[in-house]
Structure 1
Amino acid sequence: MALSNSQYEAIIKEYERTRYSNHILTENRREEVYRTIPGFQELAESISFLSVDSARRMLEGDELAQKSLHDKLQEIVSRQRKLLTQYGFSADYLKPVCNCADCGDTGYIILDNGTREKCHCFRQQEIRLLYAQSHIQDMIERENFSTLSYQYYQGDDLRRFEAAVQLSRKFVQNFNDEYENLFFYGTVGTGKSFLSGCIAGELLQQGHSVIYFSAAGLFDMLARYSFDAKSKELLYDLCEDLYGCDLLIIDDLGTETTNGFITSQLFSCLNERYLRRKATLISTNLTLEELRDRYSDRIFSRITSHFALCKLTGADIRILKKRLAK
């Protein structure tokens, strides 16, 4: 699914604003250091003098000029780092600031063959615009590991939630090295969507592409594109994104009206992501028995065989919070 011209231009302009803002921040840091550390500015300016002098010497045939310049620059950098730390700054305080180190806030990376391709940060911007991912963005700002609380759980419910948190943290920690899928199930309002948001937020910060859909929203979009002859290209692009993103979150599985089409689409999605070794996270209020009865044996087998199952139980936290607020 391609971006419109206006959507593409909006992303590019956002990158331009980010680079300008970070440039100003870098310059402000430089001025702060110059004001704070005596002699630091002169030390920094000496680099230009050394570079010009070295270039002159190389033109005159001095074969040692380049090595001499390298050694002197290394000495200056070492002195700068030492001064920075002595005056309470980090050693890399004057390193150019950028939000994405991979593309330098340009949105594109250069491959070994010289071609350009969209950076992972650009792809997440695309996902945000194309699939209305504002819900997950809003959710992870409110609900993340830093706002996690155990106060609403007791007994076995608490032990299950603690295990789910540990599993979620391990999932994030090992995401780059181990292929794993998660299946959160259990009673309403026990933290399944909350933990999904925690995981999404951590992986987004690491630069991974994450697509979030409610089950009803996902299958509604698939149905609209599948049964509209004019939307075949849109369907292809949607499926490629669903199959290829680093993490696909399907929230509230079972709230959709299940039929043969949905069952087929769900299996295709799970199977293709399994073949591509792409992680999937599913949350549902269904029991395992209800999952087996509602969907095909293939889906039940795929989930119980290739997902880490995590059951959450307890009272509805949303209701508890409302009561406490009153």
Structure 2
Amino acid sequence: MKDILQKKIQELRETIKNSPKEKEEVQYECPICKDRGLIYKDGQAYICNCVNKKRFENQFKHARLAGEYLHKSFDDFQIKYYSSYRIDTNSNVTYRQLATQCLTAAKLFTDSVINKKKHKGMYVYGTVGSGKTLLTSCIANRLLEHNIELLFISVPDFLDEIKATFNQKGNQEMDLMNQVRNVRVLILDDLGAHTYTDWSAGRIYNIINYRASNNLSTIITSNLSVDGLAEALDERTSSRVMQLCTLYRLETEEDIRCQVYKENLKRV
């Protein structure tokens, strides 16, 4: 019996000797809390900063904001790209004045949402490359910094996403529609001169009508005036847009992306 025990001990020693050594150091995403999410100090537990960081990152992810516009701030919306002498014939003010008015309204909208003050939405329209998406991205980022729930939806992409649910089981279309209709702040980007079927026009109206009826914060960008929107969709949709939003226009003599590109070439 004693010999058997000694043999087992020797086998165990050999196993330990020949087994691969464990890594001396475990790699953690957060070395401060060792991925626990909590820091213990003086007998008290505190939430680690990494938890808030992950929550912040998830908010941006679920907001659907495009990568190139992540973390854009109002400082990135530069008035210099708007002409100080070109006059908008509809309002009889310069393009720069239009941009200044729109920027001021965007900041006021943002502050009103954060402070839960009564406000109307914004309908920002203008030619391609006039800064509409950039400005509304600045609004979105500012609100996300204050943990405001929002969705930034590209209208053409959203309609395609709904169509993709047609052959799937369950209520995916209804779930998508409810998510967009009920979110605290909705930004509908590029509600423009596309070919709308009765089906797609109906989905757009459903969203806008619901949000207008429930006074939910909404921003819409388009390359169409409200009159143009009535032609592209229908009058009932444009009527609800005017009820829901204040109209703002952005215009430039040249696409801002082209202006930035030329500036960068000069620096080379």
TM-score (norm 1): 0.60
Query: Pick from 162, 166, 173: which aligns with 2:100?
Result: 162
Which whole-Å deviations, capped at 9, do the CAs of 1:183-217 have from their partners, x for residues lacking one? 10012211111111010001111111111121110
Distance 1:148 1:269, change over 3 A: same
TM-score (norm 2): 0.72
**Counterpart in 1 of 2:9?**
none
Deviation at 1:264, TM superposition (A): 0.4
Counterpart of 2:150, as a letter, is V
SS at match of 1:174: helix
**Counterpart in 1 of 2:242?**
304
Are the counterparts in 2 of residues 210 and 248 from structure 1 also a CA contact under 8 Å? yes
CA distance in 2 between counterparts of 1:307 and 1:139 reads 23
Distance 1:224 1:138, change over 3 A: same
Which whole-Å deviations, capped at 9, do the CAs of 1:142-191 have from their partners, x for residues lacking one? x3113232221222011000000100000011112224211100122111
Shifted more, 203-212 versus 172-181: the winner is: 172-181
Structure 1 residues without counterparts, runs of 5 or longer: 1-12, 28-44, 49-94, 108-120
Deviation at 1:290, TM superposition (A): 1.7
Are the counterparts in 2 of residues 215 and 256 from structure 1 also a CA contact under 8 Å? no
Percent identity between matched residues is 23
Are the counterparts in 1 of residues 194 and 232 from structure 2 also a CA contact under 8 Å? no
2:196 matched to 1:258?
yes
SS at match of 2:152: strand
Which whole-Å deviations, capped at 9, do the CAs of 1:267-319 have from their partners, x for residues lacking one? 10011122332211111111333212111110011112221110111121111
Are the counterparts in 2 of residues 19 and 98 from structure 1 also a CA contact under 8 Å? no
Distance 1:187 1:19, change over 3 A: farther
Query: Pick from 77, 101, 123: which aligns with 1:148?
Result: 77
Question: Which residues of 2 match residues 71-150 of structure 1 at below 5 A?
Answer: 96=46, 125=58, 128=61, 133=64, 135=66, 137-141=67-71, 143-150=72-79
Structure with more of its chain in helix, by fraction: 1
Counterpart of 1:262, as a letter, is S
Distance 1:127 1:23, change over 3 A: closer
State the Cα RMSD in Å: 3.5
Distance 1:184 1:235, change over 3 A: same
Structure 2 residues without counterparts, runs of 5 or longer: 1-27, 85-93
Distance 1:252 1:99, change over 3 A: farther
SS at match of 1:208: coil
CA distance in 2 between counterparts of 1:138 and 1:216 reads 18
CA distance in 1 between counterparts of 2:211 and 2:31 reads 35
Counterpart of 1:128, as a letter, is K
SS at match of 1:318: helix
SS at match of 1:257: coil
CA distance in 1 between counterparts of 2:255 and 2:172 reads 38
Distance 1:205 1:297, change over 3 A: same
**Counterpart in 2 of 1:203?**
143
Structure with more of its chain in strand, by fraction: 2
Query: Pick from 150, 158, 161: which aligns with 1:218?
Result: 158
Distance 1:246 1:152, change over 3 A: same
